[in-house]
Structure 1
Amino acid sequence: MATHYNQYAWQQIEQRVWQRSVDEIERCYAVLSKLYEGSGRMFFAITGHISLSIDIVDSFHDDLDSRVDTALRNAWLTLRHDHPTIASEVKYDTSTNEFTKVYRTIPTIADQQAWIDETFVKISTDKTGSEWANNDPPAPKLPTLFVITPPSVLHEENRPGAIRRDLVLRSPHDVIDGIGTLLLLGNLVKIVSKAYDQGSSFELPTFDNGSELRNMSPPFRVAANVPKSLTETQQRRLANVASLKEQQLASDIPLLLIPWKKEEITPGKHQRVALMLSQERTSTLLHACSYIGVTVTHIFHAAIPLMMRDVQEKRSKPQTLRYVSYILRNERANCTEPYNSAKHPAALYHSVSGTSLLVDMTIPAVGSSPTVDQQQSESEEFFRVLQEMKQFYHDVRDDAEHYQLVPYYWASSTRQLPPAAKEPLPIPPPSTQPSVSISSMGLIDNIIPTKAGGISVSDPWVTGEELRNGLGFFLGTYRGQLCLSAAYNDAWHDRQEVETYLEMCVDIAFKGLKSYIF
């Protein structure tokens, strides 16, 4: 490891305890969590979910439920050895106002059992995993796997006699990101299948002498081999980006905002609501996207400002409002081996766009009724917005220097903590400019197998805990079905309202593409 990265190398500070500095991405999420700590909830806490349906391979085997849970427990411990950073924790030092990432080894059987007891939690409930995750679940400081036995509901992939478990991973966002969560769950599925098939002959890893330390994940700077310093040209580019953002903030064009209930000032419960398209509708949409050379992410990001336009209160005259957002991008492809693979899921290897994504929308005057010309104009507007989205995404994709600038983009968007912050800090008020963002998980089948041995997998999803009054949309396709979901906080939005927004976006997407749907 290069000398200038020594601060990011895992170093032993006392017996069994290792630590390293956090990078800009990890610090950004750690700061957000700290700022909202007084709410009693964890800002952007990751929630990852999958449902498992396990075939009964031996009807004469006693206590099959116990066999399944033992396989899950053994797989979770194996995962700890393969990806030990999942057992790390970001600590805050009030004396220095700094964060460090800390890891403790578990060399003895007693240590391993203590970690299992703390982070592998069986839940007794009458809810499914998705329902339980919407019921204000705990947000432990150590990433924790909650194992839920849901009510006996037969889904398409379930059969009478199959055993089902819903798995919910809860983790601080400064330990793992969204794609990393799906990668981790995909790896877990494969190990569970092996552990279930092998039963008592399944071989557990050994943790003696810290053997797992070789698998520790570095921060993005190291994983992507980001140069220590910027070139003069890159420094000028960053200065131009900062100047452009100041100009955008100073614009006279009002912002396009999502409506919210203004009575509440403190966060309530994070909630997730999802809209699943059928395989037929998903296939139709994908074919239309392929025909015109766009992705479903472009389509649904384009639908968002159009949806927000349609829910605005109209005035006596038309008005122009500006949608301002950003894109989140998985940067694992820009990491060096083995960090570009599923071998290092428990890490934050993603970026935000440096410049803001801007789309201007015209809100028609009150009382205006659509004419044929206006309907034609709406179709043109959809493709105008779609092309702007596609261009913005491609500009980031084709930027060879983007990954080198990622740490600086994160640093510029990180809020400042007061010196020697006392605990807890006052909870930030709701934003006066709440908007809607979108995170795309892509084709999840490429990350989580739909079947592993006798285990069928369904309903994989991930969110970050929303404690603000904006909305976070998530997009992913699995088993041929596209799912558009939203994370929101019930202090400022309700379920029916957000479901309507999702339905509007789907409707906008299909109406916009109707000329290309065959």
Structure 2
Amino acid sequence: MTSAESLYHRLQWTKSQEGVWSRDINECERFYQSSIRSGEGCYPVTACSSFTFEPSETTATNDIEEHVVETVLRKAWTVLHYHHPSLRTHVERGGDSSGWRRIYPTFKDKGEEKGWLDWTFKVIDVDGDPLQWYNNTSAPFEISTLFLIRSKEKGKYLDHVFLRCPHDITDGVGILHLLNNLFTHAALVYEQGTQYVLPAWGNEHENLSPCIQLVTGIPESYTESQIKRFEEIQIRNRATYTHPGLLSLPTSSSPTTSSQGGKRQRVAVSVSQTTTEKILRGCKVLNTGVTVTHVFISALAIALSELQLRKDKPYAVRYANQTMINLRPYCREPYNTPEYADAPYHAVSTQALGIDLVVPGSADPSGVSKVDELTKLSVQVRDYFKAVRPVSSVDDNIIFSPLVFKRLTPPLSLDPHAVLGTPICPVPLSSIGNIASMVSPVHGPFKLSWVWRASEPIGAGVAVLLATWDGRIELSAVFDTRYHSAEYVEKFLGRIMACVLEGLSIDEHL
């Protein structure tokens, strides 16, 4: 073992006399465990794909197609768990946070395996839009679950899979790799037909994913100089967040209220391939090194500033956030590959981003030129991302990641989703990039027409995601209906997109 592995005994998978594998959870997993809403099982991350099934037998009927798709995906779901057994783990909590353990129970017999499969592979028929099922009907779950949603539109069958996992098991990049692996297995199952043999359970525990500490250079304990450096960064962060005009999304005029909490819903806006190409070209000529992510974060800050209350005189506001960082490229082999997609190998940037803007006075309706403002802010965001992007496995944003998650984790007595006075609605934006670089659009007879993923907000926040699929940029958001309506959030996403187009001098209407 390496020296790093020998230090982390509590995070190593160990087997009990009863045949159950377990280990302590780390700071990242503890953060997501503390973010679970009361009565909802887990804090989820979701990947969805709309697809058609084009069998090789041209005479197949719709009924036969339905049966084949269900059978093939059910087998693929089983195979996925053999290669990614951490998907079937759960957390058992002790008396305090230090006693939380991640548990992997092996199957005792075929009956237990079938019970698990029936519990986690769900087939649901709907008449309307599957997104409405996701927004309004989908039930809480506790362990990774695959929903096959079948809808009939204009006489043609269009299927959808919703892969839903606890966020302490995987992340936004990992769940897309898992979705791709699922369809890869499904295509192979279909191709081989009755000759396909499911793997035999018994040694799958060898594939259990290690914690991020064991696959990078994160130390178990920190030196005095490291602690000092981390605290100096936190002092700067507190100064960033200590601002009288911190930006958040104002609540809707008529948000849904409920003593049990609202529903989490997803809305999205997208632009055409032609407009997407114009945006990509515009970002490249805006300034050296500026990317679509930098431009959209800047546009988000501008859009939020435009929604603030106008006063007689101009006043300063600030957009503050800490970005998510994918740590897979910094893990040692083979943990830097999709083979270990069932692990939350990511971090929150140690350093916070602060974007300062000015809300114009009521007598100045125009304010600053959108082109000038977007250009200036995009360069600032570019420089921030350059500063927080790890350059090696011993970078601050990697080695300090457990400390950052620990700082972000609320005490056990505090509910991060509770409504305390006037709600603050922060709007973080995550950029997933080109989804097709992680999920192939064609897997044998399975043709994926659209793919997206979503995470959930904390409290009154709105989780915004920027992604591209099929050459089209999509901006989506997940929000709580206690604070916002779907129409309101959709219009806000449109405002962000409009800020991008105007700031890049693209003369198009959404």
When normalised by structure 2's length, the TM-score is: 0.91
User: 1:313 & 1:189 partners in 2: Cα distance?
Assistant: 48
SS in 2 for 1:183: helix
User: 2:67 & 2:258 partners in 1: Cα distance?
Assistant: 46
After superposition, the C-alpha distances for 1:105-154 in whole angstroms (9 at most, x for unaligned) are 12533232121111111112223432211114122111110111112358
Q: Matched residue pairs, number? A: 494
Aligned to 2:219: 227
User: 1:14 & 1:127 partners in 2: Cα distance?
Assistant: 50
Of 234, 247, 253, which residue of structure 2 is paired with 1:242? 234
Aligned to 2:401: 406
User: 2:25 & 2:271 partners in 1: Cα distance?
Assistant: 40
SS in 1 for 2:332: coil
Written as runs of structure 1 = structure 2, the 5 A alignment for 1:421-432 is: 428-429=418-419, 432=423
Find out whether 1:358 has 2:359 as its counterpart.
Answer: no
Q: Which amino acid aligns with 2:447?
A: S
Q: Structure 1 unaligned segments of length 5 or more: list them.
A: 155-159
Deviation at 1:225, TM superposition (A): 3.6
User: 1:175 & 1:398 partners in 2: Cα distance?
Assistant: 23
Written as runs of structure 1 = structure 2, the 5 A alignment for 1:400-479 is: 400=392, 401=395, 402-418=397-413, 428-429=418-419, 432-466=423-457, 468-479=459-470
After superposition, the C-alpha distances for 1:36-78 in whole angstroms (9 at most, x for unaligned) are 31xx335642122111211021134572321111100000000
Written as runs of structure 1 = structure 2, the 5 A alignment for 1:89-238 is: 89-94=90-95, 98-106=99-107, 108-153=109-154, 164-207=158-201, 210-238=202-230
Q: Which amino acid aligns with 2:441?
A: T
User: 2:440 & 2:26 partners in 1: Cα distance?
Assistant: 32
Deviation at 1:336, TM superposition (A): 1.0
After superposition, the C-alpha distances for 1:417-437 in whole angstroms (9 at most, x for unaligned) are 13xx9xxx7962257432211
Question: In 2, are the aligned partners of 1:128 and 1:166 still within 8 Å (CA)?
Answer: no
SS in 2 for 1:354: coil
SS in 2 for 1:149: strand
Find out whether 1:379 has 2:371 as its counterpart.
Answer: yes
Instruction: Tell me: CA distance 1:165–1:16, structure 2 relative to 1, closer, same or farther (3 Å).
Output: farther
Q: Which amino acid aligns with 1:444?
A: I
Question: In 1, are the aligned partners of 2:328 and 2:337 still within 8 Å (CA)?
Answer: yes
Of 392, 399, 407, which residue of structure 1 is paired with 2:384? 392
Q: Which amino acid aligns with 1:410?
A: F
User: 1:461 & 1:470 partners in 2: Cα distance?
Assistant: 20
Deviation at 1:96, TM superposition (A): 6.3
After superposition, the C-alpha distances for 1:159-178 in whole angstroms (9 at most, x for unaligned) are x6xx5321012222111211
User: 1:486 & 1:218 partners in 2: Cα distance?
Assistant: 31
Question: In 2, are the aligned partners of 1:180 and 1:347 still within 8 Å (CA)?
Answer: yes
When normalised by structure 1's length, the TM-score is: 0.90
Instruction: Tell me: CA distance 1:313–1:427, structure 2 relative to 1, closer, same or farther (3 Å).
Output: closer
Cα-Cα RMSD: 2.3
Question: In 1, are the aligned partners of 2:240 and 2:353 still within 8 Å (CA)?
Answer: no
User: 1:68 & 1:249 partners in 2: Cα distance?
Assistant: 50
Deviation at 1:244, TM superposition (A): 1.9
Question: In 2, are the aligned partners of 1:136 and 1:270 still within 8 Å (CA)?
Answer: no
Question: In 2, are the aligned partners of 1:49 and 1:130 still within 8 Å (CA)?
Answer: no
Question: In 2, are the aligned partners of 1:273 and 1:495 still within 8 Å (CA)?
Answer: yes
Aligned to 2:78: 77
After superposition, the C-alpha distances for 1:236-256 in whole angstroms (9 at most, x for unaligned) are 2111022223334444x4212
User: 1:180 & 1:277 partners in 2: Cα distance?
Assistant: 26
Instruction: Tell me: CA distance 1:254–1:511, structure 2 relative to 1, closer, same or farther (3 Å).
Output: same
After superposition, the C-alpha distances for 1:390-441 in whole angstroms (9 at most, x for unaligned) are 11111111554121111111111111113xx9xxx79622574322111111
The 10-residue stretch of structure 1 (168-177 or 491-500) with the greater mean CA deviation from structure 2: 168-177
Q: Which amino acid aligns with 2:11?
A: Y
User: 1:5 & 1:176 partners in 2: Cα distance?
Assistant: 21
Q: Which amino acid aligns with 2:312?
A: S
SS in 1 for 2:428: strand
Aligned to 1:157: none
Question: In 2, are the aligned partners of 1:90 and 1:175 still within 8 Å (CA)?
Answer: no
SS in 2 for 1:466: coil
User: 1:167 & 1:227 partners in 2: Cα distance?
Assistant: 39
Question: In 1, are the aligned partners of 2:426 and 2:462 still within 8 Å (CA)?
Answer: yes
User: 1:433 & 1:405 partners in 2: Cα distance?
Assistant: 27
